[in-house]
Amino acid sequence: MEERLERYVTELFAPEDPVLSAIRARHDALKLPPIHISPDEGKLLYVLLRAVAAARVLELGSLAGYSGVWLARALTARGTLTTIEIDARHAALARQAYVEAGVAERVRLIEGAALDVLPTLAPGFDAVFVDADKAPLAQYFEWSVRLLRPGGLLLCDNAFFHGAVVDPGDHSAEAEGVRAFNRLAASDPRVVAAVAPIRDGLVIGVKLPS
């Protein structure tokens, strides 16, 4: 999308409140990896979760809590966000963000490697948002589908991986992981999916009834 159109969309549909702005500013000031979602992506996730009246949501990759605030704010009154983060520093910053946003009571943050945590979770999530390390994305796809309820949303950021998915010379584990996730989302009979070309691409899928 053209930069001025992105700015128009963000300013009109996804203006940040002071809490979100502060979380993003702290992220930048601490020079954390520049991989958090954008405000317009956050608003799209918010709308999608509201559309399915999400009460149980799973996030893979908390980072510093910016995306988690968008997700937690979209939950039903007694909803819960379960988010997994392997980096202890990021987890501490995320917890701080949830407190500042007033959503800490509806967030369960689990520190650890996602592939260790996922087998311990009960199925029935209304949505799963994947925004974690890229190499194991095919495994994250499988666990996401297992843990989703029929009709639940499968959401994954960085579908384009900054153009690497169509770069024939990029055979990195990360690029191959994104390609594998995209192929599965496009062809697995358990889901129907599309890609929203917002920022770096967002896979949006729905788990079909068995």
Longest C-alpha distance within the chain, in Å? 48
pTM for the structure as a whole? 0.95
State the number of CA atoms in the 13 A half-sphere of 26 facing the CB: 17
- Residue 109 DSSP class: E
Q: Is the pLDDT of residue 1 over 80?
A: no
Instruction: Give pLDDT tens digits for 92-148.
Output: 999 999 999 999 999 999 999 999 999 999 999 999 999 999 999 999 999 999 999
Domains of the chain, with CATH numbers?
3-207 (3.40.50.150)
Q: What angle do CA 137, 161, 155 make, to 5 degrees?
A: 50
| Angstrom distance (rounded) from CA 100 to CA 117 | 26
- Residue 34 DSSP class: S
| Angstrom distance (rounded) from CA 118 to CA 130 | 12
